[in-house]
A = this chain, B = another copy of it.
Amino acid sequence: MNIEMIRAAAKRLDGHARRTPILSSPFLDEIAGRRVLVKAECLQHTGSFKFRGGWAAMSSLSGDQLKTGVIAYSSGNHAQGVALAAREHGAPAVIIMPSNAPTVKIANTRALGAEVVLYDRGRESREKIGDGLSRERGLTLIKPYDEPEVIAGQGTCGLEIAADAGVEEAEVLVCCGGGGLTGGIALALAAEAPKMRVRPCEPEGFDDVTRSLATGQHEQNVSETGSICDAILTQSPGEITFPILKKHCGSGIVVTEDECLRAMGLAFERLRIVVEPGGAAALAGALFHGSEIEGDTVIAVATGGNVDRAIFSRALETLA
């Protein structure tokens, strides 16, 4: 895993992934007490940064691998990113999704042409199902984060932050599940914007990365369900991603569900973007955990925007 892989991925993604805008609002600056820049990855194709990793992985496969097809497991955003990238590469895709994933994510993945296999998040192992199907049909597994080409793809978001933010020094808050995006951005910034420092953001009760960074070893979450932040409920940091996080990131920031909903409401009102709960963790950190942040500028990555309207309505209620 190195910066050259990220630069190579950026070349392959050019013209395919969107260069998402960096947004801001004087109203958010006032709440945070510092300048807040929001990298709006919810505007990426399929509504999250995952399209970057999906495309990077797909575009590194051989013609034979593409013809036989790919398999992925995902709570929804990696699913959609891989499904669209596979379709655009002409590759069949099987996606293993938890049966309690947001219905919009399941429906979208199917509509993008993928075969969806549902499993029970509390009782079954998606890795086991994935390995089985992968062997059976000869499919290439595209892991959600512990996969170098996927991390390289997500890292292209960091290259854009370094080039587009207009500042040299900042804390960069990233919503963190398994650490693919967080690690990729951290690697990109270490090379391109060394005065920026990445801070992983996680929801309360699912702060495995924050605790792992504190102890220096792989800490586990008790559960992988039970939060509206479905996109970032990973049990433990990845084998490949954790060493990157340890080397390059500052300490984690833990936010509440309520703070995520309020951040979603403010993103609606002040930035006119739709952010899902797990995609709002970084903005929640930027807005409501200022005492844990250093410097004049904070950059928050709004990682995804695939949210059911019922949950979005809860976010709107926080504006009352």
**Residue ranges of A at the interface with B (Cβ–Cβ < 8 Å):** 18-21, 23, 26-27, 40, 42-43, 47, 84, 104, 108, 111-112, 268-269, 271-275, 305-306, 309, 312-313, 316-317, 319-320
- In the complex, the answer to whether B305 meets A312 with C-beta atoms within 8 Å is no
Selected contact of A104 from candidates B42, B47, B269, CB within 8 Å: B269
Selected contact of A273 from candidates B27, B84, B272, CB within 8 Å: B272
Smallest distance from the beta carbon of A65 to chain B beta carbons, Å? 24
Which chain B residue lies CB-closest to A84?
B26
A18 and B84 alpha carbons, distance in the complex (Å): 28
A183 and B55 alpha carbons, distance in the complex (Å): 39
- In the complex, the answer to whether A27 meets B111 with C-beta atoms within 8 Å is yes
- In the complex, the answer to whether A272 meets B274 with C-beta atoms within 8 Å is yes
Which chain B residue lies CB-closest to A46?
B25
- In the complex, the answer to whether B104 meets A272 with C-beta atoms within 8 Å is no
Residues from chain B with a CB closer than 8 A to the CB of A111 are 27
Selected contact of A312 from candidates B26, B108, B112, B268, CB within 8 Å: B268
Which chain B residue lies CB-closest to A44?
B272
Smallest distance from the beta carbon of A113 to chain B beta carbons, Å? 10
Which chain B residue lies CB-closest to A267?
B274
